[in-house]
Amino acid sequence: MARKKQEDVPKGSPAWMNTFSDLMNLLLCFFVLLFSMSTVDAEKFEKIIASFQNTFSILPSGGASIGEGELVSSGVSQLEMLDSYYKEQANSQSEEEQETESEIAESYKEQALEESEEMAEAIEQAIARYGIQNQVEVDFDAQYVLLNMNGALLFDSGKSEIRQEAYPLIDKIGKLLEPYQQNIIEVEGHTDNVPIHSSKYEDNNVLSFYRARAVSDYLRGITTIEPSHIKSAGRGEYVPIADNSTPEGRARNRRVVIKIYNSYSSQLQ
């Protein structure tokens, strides 16, 4: 009679041992992790953070920080000095722009002053040729060349009509202005501070304007300069060049000034 076949018996450890082993491994990893976190070298950690701050300008995955506080982006803490870095960069750029603008403005002013100086030299030479150097003073700045004429040479006291004796002088001034067809030319009238008593002119300011207008109109008639390039202004007693307390000072303040603006200041369309 055949021997009865024995039932198969499972070999190896029981099934519950596998679960127990996995649990022990997980506990071991957990305690190792806790131990490693409790022994972080603070000095080395700060060096790592400083290295990140010097290397990156933004955080990964679009993280950013503005102002104070802590922000985490993709597991990375904010760079503590990031906002300060951006501010320093912006201030540095602003200072550079200001320096550039200042340099451009200074260069512009130097070129304008150089042009005015060349104009003044040419006008002084022409004045000498016409023999009126004792009647016209020349000065200049970065905007214009200035021709200063004593008012007593052009007008009688308290009047705005040009004296007959003054026409030859203004004719020569007109010839001086002819080369400057593309420049603004401004005629200014000035007075002293002695109040005027006249039924025709309300005050010194009005008188100074009428005198400037009289010279402007005459120049428009004797030159080929575009009439719109010649303008007039009454400055009254408000821009003295001498002391109004003396007769000599008041005589100097009673004057007509012609300003020939350089190309930098004319601003013609």
pLDDT tens digits for 121-161? 999 999 999 999 999 999 999 999 999 999 999 999 899 99
Both structure tokens of 100: 């550039």
Per residue in 105-121, pLDDT (tens digit) is 888 889 999 999 999 99
- Say which range, 16-25, 37-46, 144-153, 184-193, has the weakest mean pLDDT: 37-46
Which pLDDT belongs to residue 32?
Answer: 75
pLDDT band at residue 29 using 50, 70 and 90 as cut-offs = confident
Angle among Cα 186, 189, 127 to the nearest 5 degrees reads 60
| Phi/psi at 237 (5° precision) | -95, 5
> Does residue 64 surpass a pLDDT of 60?
no
Provide mean pLDDT across the span 238-258: 95
The Cα-based distances of 66 to 49, 57, 114 in angstroms read 18, 13, 50
Concatenated DSSP letters of 38-96 = HT--HHHHHHHHHHHHHH-SS-GGG----SSS--EETTEE--TTHHHHHHHHHHHHHHH
> Higher-confidence residue: 231 or 8?
231
Per residue in 84-102, pLDDT (tens digit) is 666 676 676 677 777 778 8
Tally of CA atoms within 13 A in the half-sphere of 225 that contains its CB: 28
* Cα 62 versus chain centre, distance: 37
> Does residue 61 surpass a pLDDT of 50?
no
Distance CA 222, CA 20 (A): 118
Which pLDDT belongs to residue 107?
Answer: 86
Cβ 236 vs Cβ 191: under 8 Å: yes
Q: Which of 165, 166, 170 is nearest to 219 (CA)?
A: 170
Tally of CA atoms within 13 A in the half-sphere of 231 that contains its CB: 9
